[in-house]
Structure formats: structure tokens, C-alpha cells
Amino acid sequence: MDEGVKSLSSFEEYRRILLTGTLTWGAVHKDDAFWRENVLKFEQNDYQVLRVLMRLLEVSTDPVTLTVACHDVGKFVQFHPSGM
């Protein structure tokens, strides 16, 4: 499989799961290659994915969703060119 297609597919899958409002741990959350390759995609649609993560931190009461969302915001900051 072409690396670009794999990267797009994993980001779209991440986005789809995120939009459900419930997060669980999966390989993508701790995969630095995913974050390096996809961090700029978080800027799409006026930072929609990042805004959804932040909203989950505000409204979710599920401890796993909160933990994963917090972790993912940290990964975004770690890998985004303006983050560090």
C-alpha cells in the first residue's frame, strides 16, 4: 500500500472515531510516525479535529476518553511546528 494512502486512511479513521465522542487507546495514539505525518492535517476545516478534542475535554465524563484526548492534545503540541 502506498504510504500516502495509508497515512490518509489512518488520519481519516482517527477523525471518524474522534467524531463519535468516545475514545479508547489504540496504536495510532502512541505512534509518533502517525503524529509526524498527520499533525498538519489537524489544521483542516479550521482545526476541526483539534476543536473536537478540546470539546471532549470540556464535556466528556468518561475517564478513558478524557485521558486519550489529553494525550492526543499533548501529541499535537509535541509534533506541530508551532507547538514546541
Task: Supply the DSSP string of 2-66, one letter for each residue.
Answer: -HHHHHHHHHHHHHHHHTTT-----HHHH-HHHHHHHGGGGGHHHHHHHHHHHHHHHH---HHHH
Whether 11 is in a domain gets the answer: yes
Residue 52 lies in a domain: yes
- Is residue 67 domain-resident? yes
Residue 83's pLDDT is: 79
**pLDDT in the model for residue 84:** 61
Q: What is the pLDDT along the chain (84 residues), one digit of tens a residue?
A: 445 445 447 999 999 999 999 999 999 999 999 999 999 999 999 999 999 999 999 999 999 999 999 999 999 999 999 976
The parent domain of residue 67 ranges over: 3-79
- For residue 16, is it within any domain? yes
Q: What pLDDT score was predicted for residue 41?
A: 96
**Is 57 contained in some domain?**
yes
pTM score, whole prediction: 0.86
Residue 65 pLDDT: 98
Counted domains in the chain: 1
Does residue 84 fall inside a structural domain? Answer: no
With respect to residue 46, please indicate whether it lies within any of the assigned structural domains: yes
pLDDT value for 5: 46
